[in-house]
Amino acid sequence: MTIKVGDRIPSVKVMQATAEGPKEVALDELFAGRTAVLFGVPGAFTPTCSAKHLPGFVTHAAALKAKGVDLVACMAVNDAFVMGAWGKDQGITDQVALLGDGSAALTKALGLELDLTARGLGLRCQRFALVAKDGVVTHVAVEAPGAFEVSKAEAVLAAL
């Protein structure tokens, strides 16, 4: 079942890309006591993700913080090494935490699987954005296939 408003962030471990290398984190612990935005992309280095989705959250990081957001995190069904390389490629410093969901455990726990096997990409995550306050989801927006409207940074800002 797809995550919805009022649900708790699942207690799933992901790998966070850090300057020191991959670090295992439990998502519920990472979000505890914070207002957090989590957005998911089908894959690092993919066209819309690299040209629009991630850069939009980097551009609007200060505006999100001004609206009370303590943490902005991006997740994809990629390993932490790929997420780290993508972050370097995109010039990410501390604006967005990059989370690798290499086994799709978080994607499955959120109910947001996307089967792109026919395109050679295997199981991925649907494009989405959510807001959680102290681990409780207050806003969820899942894109229609091929769309990029409801999960972009500007839409999340408007929902806050």
Using a 10 angstrom Cβ sphere, with 0-12 exposed, 13-18 middle and 19 or more buried, the burial of residue 130 is buried
| 157 contact partners, CB below 8 Å, separation of at least 6 | 60, 63, 64, 67
Predicted TM-score of the model (pTM):
0.93
Domains present along the chain, CATH in parentheses:
13-159 (3.40.30.10)
pLDDT tens, residue by residue, 78-126: 999 999 999 999 999 889 999 999 999 999 999 998 776 677 666 778 9
Secondary structure class of 155 (helix, strand, coil): helix
Q: How confident is the model at residue 20 (pLDDT cuts 50, 70, 90)?
A: confident
Nearest to 75 by CA among 93, 56, 51, 53: 53
**How confident is the model at residue 120, as a pLDDT?**
62
Which residues are identified as catalytic?
49
| Band of pLDDT at residue 43, cut at 50, 70 and 90 | confident
Please work out, in degrees rounded to the nearest 5, the angle formed at the alpha carbon of residue 11 by the alpha carbons of 26 and 50.
60
Residue range 47-59: mean pLDDT, rounded? 89
The residue behind tokens 């989590």 is 38
How many of the other CB atoms lie within 10 Å of CB of 16?
A: 21
**Whether residue 54 has pLDDT greater than 70:** yes
Question: What is the pLDDT averaged over residues 24-41?
Answer: 96
pLDDT at 72 over 70: yes
28 burial level (CB within 10 Å; 0-12, 13-18, 19+): middle
Give pLDDT tens digits for 122-159. 677 899 999 999 999 999 999 998 899 999 999 999 99
Residue 93: predicted pLDDT: 85
